[in-house]
């Protein structure tokens, strides 16, 4: 465990010791801390009214911020809840409730048991092109539903994607910096919010983003899924954003059939970038191609050598097959019966089934 992870665990333990067991809004019993960020804590909780386990996201204020900044963060948190609630997709978290307590909002939402995509890549290794395409297709479905509602996510990256443990369901989380059409901006003028490697060139240049900006981020996520590192990462925010705007993409080495999707989504000009329909078609093609290849490999005829006798003695002699040719049109069952009587043929036939 790294020093940062140990520090984060210590803070979670401290939070749990202080507020664990608290009853929120007379209904939600806080349990352990699931995660903690700079502006909030996510709790496991029990909904004592409906008898189900939920996640509760608590907004926390740094001690150094003023009242205006507090109001801005409250607006951002409420915007996240409203944005998620408007999205109809299996790949989006369901929001159950928003509670106002201690002069701050607490978002009650569906609990997703599993790892983030970032954790999967770090702990289990990179994804195969097919699995990356499946993840990408699921995220694309959420983005499509969000864009229909006039919502831009603006922070699509591996740490904001959860992979549910039971069925591998892919969930896009953290709409905290989402931009909702018709709402005023919640970020300060001149500020760029997001992970540099996943910020589109148009956003990096300060231009107003559209749905294509989220698709760029999806392309970066797919790149990281198969390569293990984000695209254009130069070690610092300024250098990375400069590379995003001006440098060609380092060719992916492990993308295979996914390369066309990655290059299409990471086109620097949003007008030349793959749109949702084009990306969906190519991702499905990758999945279908990989499935067909796997099927051919499974069905391929194989020659399997017979095992040697355990005592090292002479191999048992094969029974001689009848040399008399079978008349044309004779029942195939005769050949099957002959094969069934021959132990030398059975392993080969079994291996090819």
CB atoms within 10 A of CB 39: 16
Angle at 108 between CA 102 and CA 110, to 5 degrees: 160
What totals of helices (H) and strands (E) does the chain contain, helices first? 11, 11
Q: Give the Cβ contact number of residue 210 at 10 Å.
A: 14
Contact 96, 86 (CB under 8 A): no
User: Which among 3, 15, 155, 275 is annotated as catalytic?
Assistant: 155
Q: What is the DSSP string of 219-264?
A: HHHHHHHHHSS-TT--SSHHHHHHHHHHSPPPPPSS-GGGHHHHHH
**Within 13 Å of residue 202, how many CA atoms lie on the same side as its CB?**
20
183 is catalytic: no
Q: Token pair for residue 108?
A: 């009650």
Active-site residue numbers?
Answer: 155
């Amino acid at each position: 465990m790294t020093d940062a992870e140990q520090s984060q665990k210590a803070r979670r333990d401290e939070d749990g010791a202080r507020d664990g067991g608290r009853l929120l809004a007379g209904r939600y019993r806080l349990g352990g801390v699931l995660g903690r960020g700079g502006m909030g804590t996510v709790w496991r909780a029990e909904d004592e009214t409906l008898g189900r386990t939920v996640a509760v996201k608590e907004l926390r204020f740094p001690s150094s911020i003023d009242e205006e900044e507090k109001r801005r963060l409250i607006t951002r948190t409420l915007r996240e809840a409203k944005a998620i609630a408007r999205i109809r997709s299996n790949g989006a978290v369901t929001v159950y409730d928003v509670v106002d307590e201690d002069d701050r909002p607490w978002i009650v939402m569906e609990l997703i048991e599993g790892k983030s995509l970032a954790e999967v890549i770090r702990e289990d290794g990179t994804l195969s092109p097919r699995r990356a395409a499946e993840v990408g297709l699921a995220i694309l479905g959420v983005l499509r539903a969000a864009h229909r509602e006039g919502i831009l996510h603006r922070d699509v990256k591996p740490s904001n994607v959860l992979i549910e443990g039971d069925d591998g369901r892919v969930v896009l989380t953290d709409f905290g910096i989402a931009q909702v059409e018709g709402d005023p901006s919640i970020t300060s003028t001149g500020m760029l919010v997001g992970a540099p490697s996943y910020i589109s060139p148009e956003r990096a240049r300060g231009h107003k983003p559209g749905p294509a900006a989220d698709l760029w981020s999806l392309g970066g996520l797919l790149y990281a899924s198969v390569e293990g590192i984000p695209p254009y990462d130069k070690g610092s925010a300024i250098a990375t954003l400069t590379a995003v705007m001006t440098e060609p993409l380092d060719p992916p080495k492990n993308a295979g059939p996914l390369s066309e999707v990655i290059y299409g989504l990471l086109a620097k000009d949003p007008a030349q970038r793959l749109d949702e329909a084009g990306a969906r078609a190519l991702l499905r093609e990758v999945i279908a191609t990989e499935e067909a290849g796997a099927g051919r490999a499974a069905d391929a005829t194989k020659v399997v050598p017979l095992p040697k006798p355990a005592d090292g003695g002479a191999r048992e002699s094969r029974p001689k097959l009848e040399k008399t040719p079978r008349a044309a049109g004779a029942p195939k069952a005769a050949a099957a019966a002959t094969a069934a009587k021959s132990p030398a043929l059975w392993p080969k036939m079994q291996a090819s089934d």
